[in-house]
Amino acid sequence: MNMIMSVDDIVGVAKEFVWPWSCRKEDGNISGENQIIFVMVSVLLIIAISYWYIFRNRKLKLPPGPRGLPLIGNLLSLEPNLHVYFANLAEVYGPIVKLQVGSKIFIVVSSTSLTKEVLKDNDAIFANRDAPVAALVASYGGVDIGWSASNSEWRKLRKVFAHEMLSNKSLDLSYGLRRDEMRKTVSDIYKQKIDTPINFGEEVFIIILNMIMGMLWGGTLQGEERSKVGAEFQKVIGELVKLIGRTNVSDVFPALKIFDIQGIEREAKVLCLWLDRIMDSVIDQRVKLNDTDQTCQSKESKKDFLQLLLELMEQKDPKTQITKTQLKALYLDIVVAGTETTSTTIEWVMTEMMQHPEIMERAQAEIDQVVGTNNTLEESHLSKLHYLDAVVKETFRLHPVAPLLIPHSPSSSCEIGGYIIPKGATVFCNAWAMQRDPDAWNDPSTFQPERFLSDGNVKKFDYNGKNFSYLPFGSGRRICAGIPLAERMLTYVLAALLHSFDWELPRHTKLDVAETFGIALKKSTPLVVIPTPRLVNLELYM
């Protein structure tokens, strides 16, 4: 979440809300003679709004942290890369730090022991979310899995997601969709993009999007619409993710939420309406098809996720029955989180391989040994690709997609590390810092996949969230629900692209490894690479 706000931003907000339109000149600016009054009224209004929020916890033993300004707290001192800024604060104030951001209290935890207290020992208390306004829009008011409060409806939806949609049986049945999409992609690259610089992240995004669409409702993008509509999806989802991580006065001063001063809520609604129309259309078409064709999806092997969920909607069992709104919220979770996080991670893997060509060579050699250059790579091969698995895990360690995880919020005040975390605080667990902790990792800033190859570390560093020095997917009851799908898609797509092609940077191109903080940790500039064929049997490209 990018919480940076300048003085100009604050003054701009005050101009939009505080000062009556009647006191402005025609150009919308405040007349010179009213400047002093404007400042006084602005300050008084903010004091009135903030007083209760800021001073209600004065008597509690809160964690240490930097002193802030009156009213706005530490808002102006935050830096763009929050994960790095928070790590630096931990070196000064210790592993648990408090910041006052507007009327919100931020708690940042940066040690494995305290993170364990939050996500395991007091898991039930910290299972709620502090959802920004844009996230509430994207989750239909917080009825999804990612941003919902920890309640019975959330537990029901998560159970449906894990047991009905992402069970091994369901994922096995949908493998044909992923395989067909991957083969189409390999063929498309071979026929149209060989020796041509391509935006690698964009290419991977479209692959993942098509795989997810196929599993969700059996449809994929073909021909010209594949790139055109795929790019539009990427733009909409990218903008939505930016809005969720953007500074919003409504988030740090909840009393101002009703005014939507910066228009972030309105922008999020426009983007979500675009996605909502697509989902409504797909759902309505399937319902009509089911009504006219009673044999539709009669074979279990042909069921996609939509058919499974529609059947649950029709059931009267309160333990599994879901609403149409919940269905759409769940779909939006999968489409937004699945495409953005998976494609971002694969782009980081390829970026590291561009920096370390020997790692790519070793990964390709392993794939050739397991699959061969005359065969097509299948998901069944993935369990034997131990080095590639280590490369992916090392990428997650250095470039966690959610460096601060998704913020937690305690349902009641709770003691952590000898300090009181007040009810409703926004709690960040700095996974980025813990995964670079020199006490837990040798040479932590170096990309070394080999660290995950020893027998002990294979089991020690998995994705189940039990080792608190390695939390790429979080931990506890709010651990990422999509891990089974992410594991399959990410490794399969990456392995297939490495098996089918060699990749190199365009001539005279300098690799940019800078990162941009947000709700997802992305590359600052897209990775552009050139593919060349490497398979002996050219029929595998057809």
Helix 324-355 and helix 223-245: axis angle, to 10°? 90
Residue 173: inside a domain: yes
Provide the 8-state DSSP code for 504. E
Residue 36: inside a domain: no
Amino acid at 304: D
Residue 410: inside a domain: yes
Burial grade of 4 (CB within 10 A; 0-12, 13-18, 19 or more): middle
Residue 225: inside a domain: yes
Phi and psi at residue 107, in whole multiples of 5°? -120, 125
The DSSP result for 395-438, as a single string, is HHHHS-SSTT-SPEE-SS-EEETTEEE-TT-EEEE-HHHHTT-T
Distance CA 184, CA 178 (A): 10
**pLDDT number for residue 461:** 83
Distance CA 328, CA 140 (A): 8
Residues 6+ apart with CB under 8 A from 240: 134, 138, 268, 271, 272, 336
Place of tokens 């096995």: 172
Segments of 122-272 assigned E as strands: 128-129, 198-199
Helix 386-398 and helix 357-371: axis angle, to 10°? 150
Of the candidates 331, 408, 402, 337, the residue with the CA atom closest to the CA atom of residue 131:
408
Residue 7: inside a domain: no
Q: How many helices (H) and strands (E) does the chain have?
A: 19, 12
Phi and psi at residue 277, in whole multiples of 5°? -60, -40
b/e per residue 286-321 (b: at least 16 CB within 10 A): beeebeeeeeebeeeeebbbbbebbebeeeeeeebe
b/e per residue 396-409 (b: at least 16 CB within 10 A): bbbbbbbbbbbbbb
Say if residue 23 carries a ligand binding annotation: no
Instruction: Compute CA 69 distance to the chain's CA centroid, rounded to the nearest angstrom.
Output: 32
Q: For 404-529, where are the alpha helices, taking DSSP H only?
A: 431-434, 455-460, 483-500
Segments of 69-154 assigned E as strands: 96-101, 104-109, 128-129
Residue 40: inside a domain: no
Of the candidates 211, 236, 242, 259, the residue with the CA atom closest to the CA atom of residue 496:
211
Distance CA 489, CA 338 (A): 9
Residue 524: inside a domain: yes
Q: Which helix (H) or strand (E) element contains residue 169? A: helix 168-173
Name the residue range of residue 138's domain: 75-289+302-541
Residue 349: inside a domain: yes
List the structure tokens of 78: 């935050």
**CA end-to-end distance (rounded Å), the chain:** 44
CATH of the domain at 409: 1.10.630.10
Distance CA 33, CA 254 (A): 31
Q: For 293-434, where are the alpha helices, taking DSSP H only?
A: 305-314, 324-355, 357-371, 386-398, 431-434
**pLDDT number for residue 456:** 62
User: What residues are paired with 105 via a beta bridge?
Assistant: 100
pTM, entire model: 0.87
Total domains, the chain:
1
Pairing assessment for the beta strands 104-109 and 426-429 based on DSSP bridges: parallel
In tens digits, the chain (542 residues) has pLDDT values of: 555 444 444 444 444 443 343 344 444 444 555 555 545 555 555 555 555 445 555 567 999 999 999 888 998 898 989 999 999 999 999 999 999 999 999 999 999 999 999 999 999 999 999 999 999 999 999 999 999 999 999 999 999 888 888 888 889 988 998 999 999 999 999 999 999 999 999 999 999 998 988 888 876 666 666 667 777 888 899 899 889 988 888 999 988 889 999 999 999 999 999 999 988 888 888 888 777 765 444 444 456 788 888 888 887 777 778 888 998 999 889 888 889 999 999 999 999 999 999 999 999 999 999 999 899 999 999 999 999 999 999 999 999 999 999 999 999 999 999 999 999 999 999 999 999 999 999 999 999 999 999 766 666 788 999 999 999 999 999 999 999 999 999 999 999 999 999 999 999 889 999 998 888 889 999 999 999 999 988 899 98
Burial grade of 368 (CB within 10 A; 0-12, 13-18, 19 or more): middle
List the structure tokens of 117: 């207290």
